[in-house]
Amino acid sequence: METFKNIGVIGRMGSVKVVETLRRLKTYLIENDYQVVLEADTASMLPGHGLQVASKKLIGEICDLAIVVGGDGSLLGAVRDLAKSSIPILGVNRGRLGFLTDISPDELETRLNAVLEGDYIQERRFMLDTEIKRNGEPTGFGTALNDVVLHPGRSTRMIGFDLYIEGQFVYSQRSDGLIVSTPTGSTAYALSGGGPIMHPKLDAIVLVPMFPHTLSSRPIVVDGNSEIKLIIDEANESWPQVSCDGQKELSCGPGDAISIAKRPFRLNLIHPSDHNFYATCREKLGWASTIAAS
């Protein structure tokens, strides 16, 4: 396996626990002769660090590995700037759930030592691009690792829209919106909406209706290469929004077309070698862990 020498470090702002872990991480990397590059905002949390500082985009160009300290949301925010470079990304969990940031601060040095010496597994996760057009002209663009969500915004009105998959009409729906999720996002918002859990290796997209007016509306799983299009009903009285990973909001209006498709660039996610998706589900989702005797 590839080993790493030049390491970019990105931390979540505004957390004392993140700063504490960043200090430990910096000390470990420097003592073990790694070249460390701090992301610009992260550097402001470590005054007097004496290290090279760069933007996320530049870290993607000059480093062998990016380490993100924070929660899953911190990693989601970082990948949009890093995905084009295909730099491997490793997460240290300082958030709540930690499906993506799976190294615990309690075992930081031990786990990190193994990964940096080449003892790790690598996953290629795909992302989604979304584009909004009004009268054929683009008005907004976003990228998501977890999900693209059509929702009412501040309005309490239902949204009327038509769904097309690969150019084929699927249905007209009135609901609170639609969650379009990757396998990575299937354990996030889509799960709370009643969607299925999908293994990260699947090349599939799930569409989860949000409180549909018709009770027969159920989640649909489609091929990962499908092009999905939503057309907002011309008679829609509200101006809904499209959210990318819950972090970027795009406005849309009656008659707008929302296109969603797989992004050409994949995220290169690094895990410790004993990472197990089902074990993570057991831990994070509270599944029973007793193995029955045969």
pLDDT per residue over 102-140, tens digit each? 898 899 999 999 999 999 999 999 999 999 999 999 999
Residues 80 and 94 in one domain: yes
Per-residue confidence (pLDDT) for residue 24, from 0 to 100: 95
Q: Is residue 117, in this structure, part of any structural domain at all?
A: yes
Q: Is residue 1, in this structure, part of any structural domain at all?
A: no
Task: Please count the structural domains in the chain.
Answer: 2
Q: Is residue 291, in this structure, part of any structural domain at all?
A: no
Residue 149 to residue 248: CA distance in whole angstroms: 10
| 3-class DSSP assignment, residue 188 | coil
Per-residue confidence (pLDDT) for residue 95, from 0 to 100: 76
Per-residue confidence (pLDDT) for residue 96, from 0 to 100: 74
Residues 110 and 155 in one domain: no
Residues 275 and 196 in one domain: no
Name the amino acid, one letter, at 2: E
Residues 84 and 194 in one domain: no
Q: Is residue 290, in this structure, part of any structural domain at all?
A: no
Per-residue confidence (pLDDT) for residue 292, from 0 to 100: 59
The CATH number of the domain holding residue 28 is 3.40.50.10330
Per-residue confidence (pLDDT) for residue 226, from 0 to 100: 98
Per-residue confidence (pLDDT) for residue 156, from 0 to 100: 80
Residues of the chain scoring pLDDT < 70: 1, 291-294
**Which of these, 13, 74, 22, 86, lies nearest to 51 by C-alpha position?**
22
Task: Tell me which residue range forms the domain holding 134.
Answer: 128-262
The CATH number of the domain holding residue 175 is 2.60.200.30
Per-residue confidence (pLDDT) for residue 290, from 0 to 100: 75
User: Which residue ranges are tagged as binding site for NAD(+)?
Assistant: 72-73, 146-147, 157, 174, 176, 187-192, 247
Q: Is residue 142, in this structure, part of any structural domain at all?
A: yes
Whole-model pTM? 0.93
Residue 179 to residue 191: CA distance in whole angstroms: 10
162 among known catalytic residues: no
Q: Is residue 293, in this structure, part of any structural domain at all?
A: no
Residues 6+ apart with CB under 8 A from 70: 10, 11, 12, 15, 18, 91, 92, 94, 95, 101
Which position among 72, 81, 102, 256 bears the catalytic label? 72
